[in-house]
Amino acid sequence: MDGNTMHCNEIPIPDGAVIRERDKDHATLADMKPGESAVVCCVRPGEKDRRRLLEMGFVSGTTLRFIRTAPLGDPLQVEVRGYQLSLRRADARGILVRPT
C-alpha cells in the first residue's frame, strides 16, 4: 500500500486512540465548521448505522459541504451529492473526512 492509503482503524477517534503521522490531516464530519468542504474517506467499520450512512451517500471519495449546525448543536446539516440532509452529531463522528 502506498503512503496515501488510509484505513479507518488508523484514523484519530474520540476515545483517544493514537494517531499515525500520515493521518493528522483527517477529521470526522462532526469536527467540521459551517462552509467547509471535505471528501469522505470512510465510514468506520462497526458503526451501528454504517449501512444507512453509506446508502445516504457517505461513500469514500464523495465530496460534501458542511452547511450548518442546529441552534442547540445537534443535528448537523450537510450537502452530499446535490441534496441536503440532517445528521445526528453521534453519527457524524463515525464519518471520516479529509478537508479540501
Which pLDDT does position 51 carry in this prediction?
Answer: 85
CATH code linked to domain 8-99: 2.30.30.90
Per-residue pLDDT of 44-86, as tens digits, reads 866 678 888 888 899 999 999 999 999 988 899 999 999 999 9
Check residue 7 and give left, alpha or beta (phi > 0: left; psi -120 to 50: alpha).
beta
Give the phi and the psi of residue 86 in degrees, each rounded to 5: -105, 145
What's the average model confidence in pLDDT over 16-32?
Answer: 64
What's the average model confidence in pLDDT over 24-33?
Answer: 85
- In the predicted model, is pLDDT for residue 14 greater than 60? no
Confidence band of 26 (pLDDT split at 50, 70, 90):
confident
Map out the domains of the chain as residue ranges: 8-99
Contact 85, 78 (CB under 8 A): yes
- In the predicted model, is pLDDT for residue 36 greater than 50? yes
Which pLDDT does position 34 carry in this prediction?
Answer: 94
Closest listed residue to residue 92, CA positions, set 84, 81, 74 = 74
Q: Mean pLDDT across the chain, nearest whole number? A: 78
What pTM was computed for the model? 0.73
